[in-house]
Amino acid sequence: MFFRGSVGVLAAAAMFTVPNAPARADLADGLVGGVVGGVVGGVIVNEAAKNRERKRTTTYRSTAPSVSSAQRAETRQVQTSLNYFGFDAGYPDGLAGQRTRSAVSNYQAFMGYPVTGYLTPFEQNFLVTSHSRAQAGGAYTAQRVAAHPQGTRGLLLDFRDEMMGGNQAQSYGVPQTVPAARSQEEPMHAPLDEAALQADIDHSEQDSGAALPNFMAGQATASLASHCNKVNLLTNSNGGFMTVSAMNDPGFALNEQFCLARTYAIAQGEDLVKSVSGFTPAQIEAQCNAFGPAMRDHVAAVSLEDGDKVQRDVGGFILKSGMSPAQLGATAKICLGVGYRTDDLEVAMGSALLLVALGEPVYAELLGHHLSQGIGASRRADLSLGWYEKAVNALESGAEPIFAPNQPDRAALLRQAAYGISGDQQGSGQSGGANALPVFTITE
Protein backbone atom coordinates (compact mmCIF):
# COMPACT_ATOMS: atom_id res chain seq x y z
CA MET A 1 0.00 0.00 0.00
CA PHE A 2 2.95 2.27 0.50
CA PHE A 3 4.76 1.80 -2.83
CA ARG A 4 5.88 5.16 -4.18
CA GLY A 5 3.76 6.13 -7.13
CA SER A 6 1.70 2.96 -7.07
CA VAL A 7 -1.77 4.34 -7.47
CA GLY A 8 -3.27 0.90 -7.88
CA VAL A 9 -2.05 -0.29 -4.52
CA LEU A 10 -3.05 2.93 -2.81
CA ALA A 11 -6.49 2.77 -4.36
CA ALA A 12 -6.99 -0.72 -3.02
CA ALA A 13 -5.77 -0.17 0.51
CA ALA A 14 -5.33 3.49 1.33
CA MET A 15 -8.42 3.74 3.48
CA PHE A 16 -7.01 1.88 6.41
CA THR A 17 -5.40 2.74 9.72
CA VAL A 18 -4.35 0.90 12.84
CA PRO A 19 -6.19 -2.36 13.57
CA ASN A 20 -7.84 -2.68 16.92
CA ALA A 21 -9.56 -6.03 16.59
CA PRO A 22 -6.46 -8.13 17.29
CA ALA A 23 -5.62 -5.92 20.25
CA ARG A 24 -9.10 -6.34 21.70
CA ALA A 25 -9.04 -10.04 21.17
CA ASP A 26 -6.03 -10.19 23.46
CA LEU A 27 -8.06 -8.78 26.32
CA ALA A 28 -9.25 -12.15 27.54
CA ASP A 29 -10.54 -13.03 30.98
CA GLY A 30 -8.43 -11.16 33.52
CA LEU A 31 -7.83 -11.26 37.24
CA VAL A 32 -8.10 -8.64 39.94
CA GLY A 33 -4.61 -7.63 41.03
CA GLY A 34 -2.68 -4.88 42.76
CA VAL A 35 0.13 -2.59 41.79
CA VAL A 36 3.42 -3.82 43.27
CA GLY A 37 5.83 -1.57 45.17
CA GLY A 38 3.54 1.38 45.79
CA VAL A 39 4.52 3.23 42.64
CA VAL A 40 0.93 3.38 41.48
CA GLY A 41 -2.25 2.59 43.40
CA GLY A 42 -4.28 0.46 41.09
CA VAL A 43 -7.67 -0.96 40.38
CA ILE A 44 -7.11 -4.16 38.41
CA VAL A 45 -10.06 -5.86 36.84
CA ASN A 46 -9.98 -7.43 33.43
CA GLU A 47 -13.27 -8.37 31.82
CA ALA A 48 -13.79 -10.23 28.60
CA ALA A 49 -13.69 -7.70 25.79
CA LYS A 50 -16.75 -7.73 23.64
CA ASN A 51 -16.14 -7.98 19.95
CA ARG A 52 -17.77 -4.83 18.64
CA GLU A 53 -17.78 -5.85 15.04
CA ARG A 54 -21.22 -7.09 14.10
CA LYS A 55 -21.43 -9.90 11.61
CA ARG A 56 -23.06 -8.55 8.51
CA THR A 57 -23.61 -9.45 4.92
CA THR A 58 -21.79 -6.93 2.79
CA THR A 59 -23.29 -5.99 -0.55
CA TYR A 60 -21.16 -2.97 -1.42
CA ARG A 61 -19.22 -4.87 -4.05
CA SER A 62 -18.27 -8.39 -4.96
CA THR A 63 -14.88 -8.13 -3.27
CA ALA A 64 -16.27 -7.02 0.10
CA PRO A 65 -16.44 -10.51 1.68
CA SER A 66 -12.65 -10.75 1.39
CA VAL A 67 -12.07 -7.70 3.59
CA SER A 68 -10.25 -8.81 6.73
CA SER A 69 -11.14 -7.70 10.24
CA ALA A 70 -7.85 -5.82 10.39
CA GLN A 71 -8.66 -3.92 7.21
CA ARG A 72 -12.11 -3.02 8.48
CA ALA A 73 -10.62 -1.80 11.75
CA GLU A 74 -8.23 0.43 9.84
CA THR A 75 -10.96 1.81 7.60
CA ARG A 76 -13.13 2.45 10.65
CA GLN A 77 -10.36 4.54 12.20
CA VAL A 78 -10.04 6.60 9.01
CA GLN A 79 -13.82 7.10 8.90
CA THR A 80 -13.83 8.17 12.55
CA SER A 81 -11.04 10.66 11.88
CA LEU A 82 -12.81 12.08 8.83
CA ASN A 83 -16.05 12.51 10.77
CA TYR A 84 -14.20 14.22 13.63
CA PHE A 85 -12.88 16.90 11.30
CA GLY A 86 -16.26 17.44 9.66
CA PHE A 87 -15.82 15.36 6.51
CA ASP A 88 -18.94 13.21 6.55
CA ALA A 89 -17.94 9.57 6.03
CA GLY A 90 -21.14 8.22 7.54
CA TYR A 91 -21.29 5.54 10.21
CA PRO A 92 -17.76 4.13 10.78
CA ASP A 93 -18.54 0.57 9.73
CA GLY A 94 -15.11 -0.25 8.36
CA LEU A 95 -16.32 -0.49 4.76
CA ALA A 96 -15.02 2.08 2.29
CA GLY A 97 -17.98 2.98 0.11
CA GLN A 98 -18.88 6.01 -1.98
CA ARG A 99 -19.65 8.16 1.05
CA THR A 100 -16.23 7.47 2.54
CA ARG A 101 -14.49 8.26 -0.74
CA SER A 102 -16.48 11.49 -0.98
CA ALA A 103 -15.32 12.43 2.53
CA VAL A 104 -11.73 11.66 1.54
CA SER A 105 -12.09 13.88 -1.53
CA ASN A 106 -13.39 16.73 0.62
CA TYR A 107 -10.50 16.27 3.05
CA GLN A 108 -8.00 16.29 0.18
CA ALA A 109 -9.54 19.42 -1.33
CA PHE A 110 -9.48 21.20 2.02
CA MET A 111 -5.81 20.37 2.59
CA GLY A 112 -4.79 21.20 -0.97
CA TYR A 113 -3.91 17.61 -1.86
CA PRO A 114 -4.73 16.08 -5.26
CA VAL A 115 -8.40 15.06 -5.11
CA THR A 116 -8.56 11.34 -5.90
CA GLY A 117 -10.90 9.90 -3.26
CA TYR A 118 -8.10 7.59 -2.11
CA LEU A 119 -5.63 8.48 0.63
CA THR A 120 -1.91 8.35 0.05
CA PRO A 121 0.10 6.97 2.98
CA PHE A 122 1.19 10.47 3.96
CA GLU A 123 -2.37 11.85 3.84
CA GLN A 124 -3.67 8.93 5.89
CA ASN A 125 -0.89 9.18 8.44
CA PHE A 126 -1.44 12.91 8.88
CA LEU A 127 -5.22 12.50 9.21
CA VAL A 128 -5.13 9.75 11.83
CA THR A 129 -2.29 11.30 13.81
CA SER A 130 -4.07 14.66 13.85
CA HIS A 131 -7.22 12.97 15.16
CA SER A 132 -5.28 11.31 17.98
CA ARG A 133 -3.58 14.56 18.92
CA ALA A 134 -6.83 16.50 18.87
CA GLN A 135 -8.54 13.97 21.14
CA ALA A 136 -5.63 14.01 23.55
CA GLY A 137 -5.85 17.79 23.87
CA GLY A 138 -9.04 17.71 25.92
CA ALA A 139 -10.27 21.13 27.01
CA TYR A 140 -7.39 22.89 25.26
CA THR A 141 -8.44 21.39 21.94
CA ALA A 142 -12.00 22.61 22.48
CA GLN A 143 -10.62 26.05 23.27
CA ARG A 144 -8.62 26.19 20.07
CA VAL A 145 -11.50 24.89 17.96
CA ALA A 146 -13.75 27.63 19.32
CA ALA A 147 -11.15 30.27 18.51
CA HIS A 148 -10.35 29.08 14.99
CA PRO A 149 -12.46 30.43 12.10
CA GLN A 150 -12.43 26.98 10.48
CA GLY A 151 -13.56 25.25 13.67
CA THR A 152 -12.44 21.65 14.07
CA ARG A 153 -11.00 21.59 10.57
CA GLY A 154 -8.72 24.41 11.59
CA LEU A 155 -6.78 21.95 13.72
CA LEU A 156 -5.62 20.23 10.54
CA LEU A 157 -4.24 23.49 9.21
CA ASP A 158 -2.47 24.24 12.47
CA PHE A 159 -0.99 20.74 12.69
CA ARG A 160 0.18 21.04 9.10
CA ASP A 161 1.78 24.42 9.78
CA GLU A 162 3.46 23.01 12.86
CA MET A 163 4.84 20.12 10.84
CA MET A 164 6.18 22.60 8.32
CA GLY A 165 7.99 24.52 11.04
CA GLY A 166 5.31 27.07 11.86
CA ASN A 167 4.11 28.53 15.16
CA GLN A 168 4.49 25.90 17.87
CA ALA A 169 1.93 27.62 20.06
CA GLN A 170 -0.76 26.08 17.87
CA SER A 171 0.02 22.56 19.10
CA TYR A 172 -3.07 20.69 20.30
CA GLY A 173 -2.96 17.71 22.58
CA VAL A 174 0.81 17.39 22.34
CA PRO A 175 2.77 16.94 25.58
CA GLN A 176 4.73 19.95 26.71
CA THR A 177 7.99 18.14 26.12
CA VAL A 178 7.29 17.92 22.40
CA PRO A 179 6.94 21.62 21.59
CA ALA A 180 10.14 22.28 23.53
CA ALA A 181 12.00 19.87 21.33
CA ARG A 182 10.37 21.11 18.16
CA SER A 183 11.23 24.71 18.89
CA GLN A 184 14.78 23.88 17.90
CA GLU A 185 13.74 22.98 14.37
CA GLU A 186 14.43 25.40 11.56
CA PRO A 187 11.39 26.72 9.69
CA MET A 188 10.63 25.12 6.37
CA HIS A 189 11.51 27.08 3.27
CA ALA A 190 10.80 26.31 -0.36
CA PRO A 191 12.44 24.45 -1.87
CA LEU A 192 12.85 21.87 0.88
CA ASP A 193 16.44 21.60 2.14
CA GLU A 194 16.56 17.81 2.07
CA ALA A 195 20.25 17.67 2.92
CA ALA A 196 19.75 19.65 6.12
CA LEU A 197 16.78 17.54 7.13
CA GLN A 198 18.63 14.32 6.44
CA ALA A 199 21.56 15.49 8.56
CA ASP A 200 19.19 16.17 11.45
CA ILE A 201 17.55 12.78 11.04
CA ASP A 202 20.80 10.85 10.94
CA HIS A 203 22.50 12.29 14.00
CA SER A 204 22.62 10.02 17.04
CA GLU A 205 20.74 10.94 20.20
CA GLN A 206 20.48 8.96 23.40
CA ASP A 207 18.18 8.65 26.40
CA SER A 208 19.30 10.52 29.50
CA GLY A 209 17.11 8.80 32.09
CA ALA A 210 18.78 5.40 32.32
CA ALA A 211 20.32 4.19 35.55
CA LEU A 212 23.73 3.52 33.97
CA PRO A 213 25.71 6.75 34.37
CA ASN A 214 28.66 5.57 32.32
CA PHE A 215 26.36 5.05 29.33
CA MET A 216 23.45 7.45 29.51
CA ALA A 217 24.33 10.32 31.85
CA GLY A 218 24.70 13.76 30.37
CA GLN A 219 22.95 12.97 27.08
CA ALA A 220 20.08 15.12 25.85
CA THR A 221 16.75 13.37 25.56
CA ALA A 222 15.71 13.02 21.94
CA SER A 223 12.19 13.89 20.82
CA LEU A 224 10.84 11.11 18.65
CA ALA A 225 7.82 13.27 17.77
CA SER A 226 10.09 16.00 16.40
CA HIS A 227 12.22 13.41 14.63
CA CYS A 228 9.16 11.92 12.94
CA ASN A 229 7.94 15.32 11.81
CA LYS A 230 11.19 15.72 9.90
CA VAL A 231 10.99 12.20 8.51
CA ASN A 232 7.41 12.75 7.34
CA LEU A 233 8.39 15.98 5.60
CA LEU A 234 11.19 14.29 3.74
CA THR A 235 8.99 11.31 2.86
CA ASN A 236 6.38 13.64 1.44
CA SER A 237 8.94 15.57 -0.57
CA ASN A 238 10.28 12.28 -1.94
CA GLY A 239 6.82 11.33 -3.19
CA GLY A 240 6.13 8.48 -0.79
CA PHE A 241 7.64 5.73 1.30
CA MET A 242 10.80 3.95 0.23
CA THR A 243 10.22 0.48 -1.19
CA VAL A 244 12.26 -2.71 -1.34
CA SER A 245 12.93 -2.34 -5.04
CA ALA A 246 14.01 1.30 -4.77
CA MET A 247 15.91 1.32 -1.48
CA ASN A 248 18.87 3.64 -1.79
CA ASP A 249 19.11 4.55 1.88
CA PRO A 250 18.45 1.70 4.36
CA GLY A 251 18.75 4.01 7.34
CA PHE A 252 16.07 6.36 6.10
CA ALA A 253 13.85 3.43 5.10
CA LEU A 254 13.97 2.30 8.74
CA ASN A 255 13.24 5.87 9.87
CA GLU A 256 10.08 5.88 7.78
CA GLN A 257 8.93 2.54 9.17
CA PHE A 258 9.78 3.62 12.73
CA CYS A 259 7.54 6.68 12.50
CA LEU A 260 4.81 4.68 10.77
CA ALA A 261 4.87 2.07 13.56
CA ARG A 262 4.77 4.85 16.16
CA THR A 263 1.59 6.23 14.58
CA TYR A 264 -0.07 2.81 14.64
CA ALA A 265 0.94 2.24 18.27
CA ILE A 266 -0.57 5.58 19.32
CA ALA A 267 -3.84 4.86 17.53
CA GLN A 268 -4.03 1.35 18.98
CA GLY A 269 -3.53 2.71 22.48
CA GLU A 270 -6.16 5.43 21.99
CA ASP A 271 -8.66 2.82 20.90
CA LEU A 272 -7.99 0.62 23.94
CA VAL A 273 -8.29 3.58 26.30
CA LYS A 274 -11.95 3.84 25.30
CA SER A 275 -12.52 0.41 26.85
CA VAL A 276 -10.91 1.27 30.19
CA SER A 277 -13.35 1.60 33.07
CA GLY A 278 -12.81 3.90 36.02
CA PHE A 279 -9.97 6.05 34.66
CA THR A 280 -9.85 9.29 32.72
CA PRO A 281 -7.24 9.64 29.95
CA ALA A 282 -5.21 11.91 32.23
CA GLN A 283 -5.26 9.30 35.00
CA ILE A 284 -4.23 6.58 32.57
CA GLU A 285 -1.32 8.70 31.40
CA ALA A 286 -0.25 9.27 35.01
CA GLN A 287 -0.43 5.57 35.78
CA CYS A 288 1.52 4.66 32.66
CA ASN A 289 4.34 6.82 33.94
CA ALA A 290 5.03 3.94 36.35
CA PHE A 291 6.48 1.97 33.45
CA GLY A 292 9.45 4.32 33.37
CA PRO A 293 10.86 3.72 36.86
CA ALA A 294 9.78 0.07 36.91
CA MET A 295 11.43 -0.80 33.58
CA ARG A 296 14.40 1.57 33.70
CA ASP A 297 17.10 -1.05 34.21
CA HIS A 298 15.71 -3.29 31.47
CA VAL A 299 15.38 -0.39 29.04
CA ALA A 300 18.99 0.59 29.73
CA ALA A 301 20.08 -3.01 29.20
CA VAL A 302 18.72 -2.91 25.64
CA SER A 303 21.65 -0.65 24.71
CA LEU A 304 24.24 -2.88 26.37
CA GLU A 305 23.34 -6.54 26.44
CA ASP A 306 22.47 -9.42 24.19
CA GLY A 307 18.77 -9.58 23.44
CA ASP A 308 18.27 -13.10 24.74
CA LYS A 309 19.61 -12.08 28.14
CA VAL A 310 17.39 -9.01 28.23
CA GLN A 311 14.40 -11.16 27.38
CA ARG A 312 15.16 -13.66 30.15
CA ASP A 313 15.55 -10.87 32.67
CA VAL A 314 12.30 -9.28 31.64
CA GLY A 315 10.53 -12.63 31.83
CA GLY A 316 11.67 -12.97 35.43
CA PHE A 317 10.47 -9.46 36.08
CA ILE A 318 7.01 -10.36 34.79
CA LEU A 319 6.83 -13.41 37.03
CA LYS A 320 7.57 -11.26 40.07
CA SER A 321 4.90 -8.70 39.16
CA GLY A 322 2.07 -11.03 40.18
CA MET A 323 -0.09 -9.88 37.27
CA SER A 324 -1.79 -12.09 34.70
CA PRO A 325 -0.46 -12.03 31.12
CA ALA A 326 -3.82 -10.74 29.83
CA GLN A 327 -3.78 -7.83 32.28
CA LEU A 328 -0.19 -6.97 31.60
CA GLY A 329 -0.51 -7.27 27.83
CA ALA A 330 -3.53 -4.97 27.64
CA THR A 331 -1.90 -2.44 29.93
CA ALA A 332 1.36 -2.52 27.97
CA LYS A 333 -0.46 -1.77 24.70
CA ILE A 334 -2.20 1.20 26.27
CA CYS A 335 1.01 2.52 27.81
CA LEU A 336 2.94 1.95 24.58
CA GLY A 337 0.62 4.42 22.88
CA VAL A 338 0.81 6.82 25.83
CA GLY A 339 4.60 6.67 25.83
CA TYR A 340 4.87 7.52 22.15
CA ARG A 341 2.17 10.17 22.29
CA THR A 342 3.80 11.96 25.22
CA ASP A 343 7.33 11.37 23.92
CA ASP A 344 8.23 9.38 27.05
CA LEU A 345 10.47 6.84 25.35
CA GLU A 346 11.31 5.03 28.58
CA VAL A 347 7.61 4.20 28.98
CA ALA A 348 7.29 3.27 25.30
CA MET A 349 10.34 1.02 25.25
CA GLY A 350 9.40 -0.60 28.55
CA SER A 351 5.94 -1.36 27.18
CA ALA A 352 7.39 -2.84 23.99
CA LEU A 353 9.74 -5.02 26.05
CA LEU A 354 6.79 -6.34 28.03
CA LEU A 355 4.83 -7.21 24.92
CA VAL A 356 7.69 -9.11 23.32
CA ALA A 357 8.28 -11.06 26.53
CA LEU A 358 4.57 -11.85 26.69
CA GLY A 359 4.73 -13.61 23.33
CA GLU A 360 4.08 -10.83 20.81
CA PRO A 361 7.39 -10.66 18.92
CA VAL A 362 6.11 -8.27 16.25
CA TYR A 363 6.66 -5.49 18.80
CA ALA A 364 10.39 -6.31 18.78
CA GLU A 365 10.57 -4.13 15.68
CA LEU A 366 10.20 -1.06 17.89
CA LEU A 367 13.28 -1.94 19.94
CA GLY A 368 15.22 -2.44 16.72
CA HIS A 369 14.21 1.04 15.59
CA HIS A 370 15.26 2.67 18.85
CA LEU A 371 18.68 1.04 18.61
CA SER A 372 19.24 1.62 14.90
CA GLN A 373 18.33 5.31 15.14
CA GLY A 374 19.83 6.03 18.57
CA ILE A 375 16.60 7.51 19.93
CA GLY A 376 15.69 6.41 23.45
CA ALA A 377 18.71 4.11 23.38
CA SER A 378 22.32 4.11 22.27
CA ARG A 379 22.87 3.79 18.55
CA ARG A 380 23.66 0.08 18.23
CA ALA A 381 23.10 -1.27 14.73
CA ASP A 382 24.66 -4.55 15.83
CA LEU A 383 22.10 -5.10 18.59
CA SER A 384 19.21 -3.74 16.53
CA LEU A 385 19.48 -6.55 14.00
CA GLY A 386 18.39 -9.17 16.52
CA TRP A 387 15.22 -7.26 17.35
CA TYR A 388 14.39 -6.77 13.69
CA GLU A 389 14.96 -10.47 12.99
CA LYS A 390 12.64 -11.47 15.81
CA ALA A 391 9.84 -9.29 14.43
CA VAL A 392 10.40 -10.18 10.77
CA ASN A 393 10.63 -13.91 11.48
CA ALA A 394 7.34 -13.73 13.35
CA LEU A 395 5.64 -11.91 10.48
CA GLU A 396 6.99 -14.35 7.92
CA SER A 397 5.73 -17.21 10.09
CA GLY A 398 2.18 -15.88 10.00
CA ALA A 399 1.99 -13.61 13.06
CA GLU A 400 -0.71 -10.96 12.86
CA PRO A 401 0.89 -7.69 11.69
CA ILE A 402 0.30 -4.80 14.07
CA PHE A 403 1.93 -2.00 12.10
CA ALA A 404 0.83 -1.18 8.53
CA PRO A 405 -0.77 -4.60 7.96
CA ASN A 406 -1.70 -3.72 4.39
CA GLN A 407 1.86 -3.03 3.31
CA PRO A 408 2.59 -6.44 1.76
CA ASP A 409 6.36 -6.20 1.47
CA ARG A 410 6.98 -4.61 4.86
CA ALA A 411 8.71 -7.63 6.39
CA ALA A 412 11.05 -7.89 3.41
CA LEU A 413 11.74 -4.17 3.56
CA LEU A 414 12.61 -4.32 7.26
CA ARG A 415 14.91 -7.28 6.73
CA GLN A 416 16.73 -5.70 3.79
CA ALA A 417 17.12 -2.33 5.50
CA ALA A 418 18.22 -3.86 8.82
CA TYR A 419 20.94 -5.87 7.12
CA GLY A 420 21.81 -2.82 5.09
CA ILE A 421 22.80 -0.88 8.20
CA SER A 422 24.08 -3.83 10.25
CA GLY A 423 25.92 -6.03 7.79
CA ASP A 424 25.79 -9.82 8.08
CA GLN A 425 25.86 -9.85 11.87
CA GLN A 426 23.79 -12.22 13.96
CA GLY A 427 21.32 -10.49 16.25
CA SER A 428 19.20 -11.52 19.15
CA GLY A 429 15.49 -11.07 19.65
CA GLN A 430 14.66 -9.23 22.84
CA SER A 431 11.63 -8.51 24.90
CA GLY A 432 10.24 -6.56 27.82
CA GLY A 433 9.21 -6.66 31.56
CA ALA A 434 6.82 -5.39 34.24
CA ASN A 435 6.92 -4.64 37.95
CA ALA A 436 5.08 -2.06 40.02
CA LEU A 437 2.95 -1.44 36.96
CA PRO A 438 -0.57 -0.09 36.40
CA VAL A 439 -3.39 -2.29 35.15
CA PHE A 440 -6.67 -0.96 33.78
CA THR A 441 -10.23 -2.24 33.85
CA ILE A 442 -11.46 -3.15 30.36
CA THR A 443 -15.23 -2.88 29.90
CA GLU A 444 -17.55 -3.67 27.05
Please write the tens of the pLDDT for every residue from 105-141.
999 988 888 888 899 988 898 999 898 888 887 777 7
- For the cut 80, the answer to whether the pLDDT of residue 57 exceeds it is no
| Three-state secondary-structure class, residue 44 | strand
d(CA 188, CA 367): 30
- For the cut 90, the answer to whether the pLDDT of residue 351 exceeds it is yes
Q: What phi and psi values does residue 44 have, to the nearest 5 degrees?
A: -120, 100
d(CA 310, CA 315): 9
Residue 176: pLDDT band by 50, 70, 90 thresholds? very low
Name which residue leads in pLDDT, 319 or 438. Answer: 319
Lowest mean pLDDT among 34-43, 296-305, 354-363: 34-43
The pLDDT assigned to 349 comes to 94
Q: What is the mean pLDDT of residues 67-74?
A: 82
Sequence ranges of the domains in the chain:
69-162, 224-425
Q: What is the mean pLDDT of residues 138-166?
A: 80
Dihedral of CA atoms 106, 108, 112, 114 in degrees, nearest 10, equals: -120
The pLDDT assigned to 434 comes to 38
Please write the tens of the pLDDT for every residue from 179-189.
333 333 333 33
- What sign does the dihedral 292-295-297-303 (CA atoms) show? negative
- For the cut 50, the answer to whether the pLDDT of residue 52 exceeds it is no
The pLDDT assigned to 333 comes to 93
The pLDDT assigned to 190 comes to 39
Q: Which of the listed ranges 99-113, 194-208, 321-335 does the model predict with the highest average pLDDT?
A: 99-113
| Three-state secondary-structure class, residue 311 | helix
Residue 198: pLDDT band by 50, 70, 90 thresholds? low
The pLDDT assigned to 435 comes to 41
Please write the tens of the pLDDT for every residue from 205-239.
444 444 444 444 444 567 898 889 888 888 888 88
Query: Which residues on adjacent β-strands are paired with residue 44?
Result: 33
The pLDDT assigned to 286 comes to 85
Helix (H) or strand (E) holding 441: strand 441-442
pTM of the model: 0.51
Task: Tell me the percentage of the chain whose pLDDT exceeds 70.
Answer: 67
Helix (H) or strand (E) holding 368: helix 364-373
Residue 421: pLDDT band by 50, 70, 90 thresholds? confident
What angle in degrees, to the nearest 10, is found between the helix axes of 69-84 and 98-111? 50
Q: What is the mean pLDDT of residues 91-116?
A: 89
Residue 303: pLDDT band by 50, 70, 90 thresholds? very high
